[in-house]
């Protein structure tokens, strides 16, 4: 007998119109060294102290991040606006029948215009989504947040079957201080998806879910969350990069292996990897690693070159883009076809990884 599961029937995404290239980063960010006249960026330590200053070049940005341009919101644009646009596209594509009961609207958003009412409540009101014994809530789990929402939806589908909306929309470009060397990483994007009850094996159905939460000192690791610090003007300092890379290599691949095992996927149709676009140097080795345990063509979504690190918006935008929505302005050429398989994996600060395996 088939297992009850969540199934995707609608998707949509949104990119801001502003394109911010590496030359603009070097002209407008960082700070001018009074002694040399060079524009330098700060490297911060684990206590928020400046440990090094360095002038960087456009070639260095590309080499260390893979980013050539990044999308960023306009002055009057917030996560709220991006979420509304992406949700509208997903709802239009889903075209739900009138008797389908709405059970949940889950929005992941960083840097909202306002904290109340929530973005989820605003979406509910704007599009007349009549929740019946359900939820409309926002959360802020950064880079892993969108996939976390989908995993939650799949769990809830077992006890509250109906329609669910997941949205990821982060404006990380306003969170990091412009003098921080990590500031060049971030771009802004959003995506959304609509999920309904399905059965295992149906096109668009979830075949496996999984998560790994790294607690302080667990498995002998240092939890990089302790490197996130509030800055004196409300910005946030991001985790120490090399430590995050080490953590990702170890734990993300372990979760991918578990997802493939639970889905019983050892090979076959093309497998699409849609990983959080943290940094091109963080994710580039996964196709080779996965090819050792999956016998079939492996396609890897890459959006960071044109969009930047959009936090939870990277997986949200990427899934919809690979399903055929709004590829304008990026070099993504992947189009998920019938019988394809996809792994959607988010990971990030807070030191959590969430993943879902989807059969199309």
Percentage of the residues of the chain whose pLDDT score is greater than 70: 89
**Secondary structure (3-state) at 141:** coil
Q: Please give the Cα distance from 168 to 150 (Å, whole number).
A: 10
Please, what sign has the CA dihedral across residues 80, 237, 251, 322?
Answer: positive
In this predicted structure, the answer to whether residue 359 has a pLDDT above a threshold of 70 is: yes
Specify the pLDDT at position 3: 66
Residue-wise pLDDT tens digits, 194-218: 999 998 889 999 999 999 877 655 4
Asked if 177 and 235 count as a contact pair (C-beta separation under 8 A), the reply is yes
Buried b (16+ CB within 10 A) or exposed e, 281-298: ebbeebeeebeeebeeeb
CA distance 356 to 153: 11
Mean pLDDT (whole number) for 169-176: 86
Q: Which pLDDT score, from 0 to 100, does residue 1 have?
A: 40
What pLDDT score does 236 carry?
Answer: 73
Q: Which domains, ranges and CATH numbers included, belong to the chain?
A: 205-359 (3.40.47.10)
pLDDT of 2 > 60? The answer is no
| Between residues 112 and 41, the one the model is more confident about | 41
The residue assigned the tokens 């959009």 is: 310
Residue 271's pLDDT is: 98
Neighbours of 98 (CB within 10 A): 4
Closest CA to 316 of 303, 329, 334: 303
Sign of CA dihedral 22, 62, 111, 231: negative
Instruction: List the one residue out of 283, 256, 228, 191 whose CA is nearest residue 44.
Output: 228
Which contiguous run of DSSP H or E holds residue 44?
Answer: strand 39-44
Measured distance CA(330)–CA(305) in Å, rounded? 8
At 173, the pLDDT band (50, 70, 90 cuts) reads confident
- Three-state secondary-structure class, residue 283: helix
Q: How many helices (H) and strands (E) does the chain have?
A: 10, 17
Mean pLDDT of 78-104: 93
3-class SS of residue 323: coil
- 30-88 pLDDT, tens digit per residue, is 888 888 888 888 887 766 778 888 888 999 999 989 999 999 999 889 999 999 999 99
Residue 227: pLDDT band with limits 50, 70, 90: very low
Span 157-167, mean pLDDT? 95
Closest CA to 11 of 146, 172, 157, 131: 146
Q: How confident is the model at residue 249 (pLDDT cuts 50, 70, 90)?
A: confident
Query: pLDDT per residue over 116-160, tens digit each?
Result: 788 999 999 999 998 988 989 998 877 889 999 999 999 999 999
pLDDT at 340: 98
Q: Are 104 and 156 in contact (CB under 8 A)?
A: yes
Could you give the 3-state DSSP secondary structure of residue 58? Answer: helix
Residue 211's SS3 state is: strand
Q: Which residues pair with 348 in a beta bridge?
A: 352
Q: Which residues share a beta bridge with 342? A: 272, 358
Name residues whose C-beta falls within 8 Å of residue 333's C-beta, 6 or more positions apart in sequence. none
**R_g over Cα of the chain:** 20
Cβ(146)–Cβ(191) below 8 Å: yes
For residue 166, say if its preceding peptide bond is cis, omega within 30 degrees of 0: no
């Amino acid at each position: 007998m088939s297992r009850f599961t969540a199934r995707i029937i609608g998707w949509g995404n949104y990119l801001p119109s502003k394109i911010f290239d590496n030359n603009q980063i070097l002209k407008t960010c960082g700070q001018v060294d009074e002694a040399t006249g060079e524009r330098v960026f700060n490297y911060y330590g684990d206590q928020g102290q400046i440990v090094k200053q360095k002038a960087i070049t456009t070639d260095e940005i590309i080499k260390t991040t893979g980013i050539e341009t990044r999308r960023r919101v306009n002055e009057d644009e917030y996560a709220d606006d991006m979420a509304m646009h992406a949700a509208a596209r997903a709802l239009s594509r889903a075209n739900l029948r009138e008797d389908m009961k709405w059970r949940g609207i889950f929005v992941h958003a960083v840097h909202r215009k306002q904290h109340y009412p929530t973005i989820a409540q605003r979406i509910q009101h704007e599009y007349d989504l009549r929740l019946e014994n359900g939820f409309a809530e926002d959360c802020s789990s950064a880079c892993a947040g969108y996939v976390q929402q989908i995993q939650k939806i799949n769990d809830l589908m077992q006890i509250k079957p109906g329609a669910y909306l997941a949205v990821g929309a982060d404006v990380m470009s306003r969170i990091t201080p412009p003098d921080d060397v990590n500031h060049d990483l971030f771009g802004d994007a959003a995506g959304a998806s609509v999920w309904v009850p399905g059965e295992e094996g149906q096109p668009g159905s979830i075949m496996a879910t999984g998560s790994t939460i790294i607690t302080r000192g667990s498995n002998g690791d240092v939890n990089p969350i302790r490197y996130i610090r509030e800055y004196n003007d409300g910005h946030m300092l991001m985790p120490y990069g090399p430590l995050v890379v080490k953590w990702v290599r170890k734990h993300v691949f372990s979760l991918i292996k578990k997802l493939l095992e639970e889905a019983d996927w050892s090979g076959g149709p093309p497998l699409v990897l849609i990983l959080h676009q943290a940094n091109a140097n963080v994710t580039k080795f996964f196709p080779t690693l996965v090819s050792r345990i999956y016998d079939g063509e492996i396609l890897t979504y890459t959006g960071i070159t044109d969009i930047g690190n959009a936090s939870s918006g990277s997986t949200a935008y990427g899934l919809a883009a690979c399903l055929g929505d709004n590829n304008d302005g990026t070099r993504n050429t992947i189009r998920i076809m019938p019988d394809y398989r996809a792994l959607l994996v988010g990971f990030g600060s807070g030191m959590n990884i969430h993943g879902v395996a989807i059969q199309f």
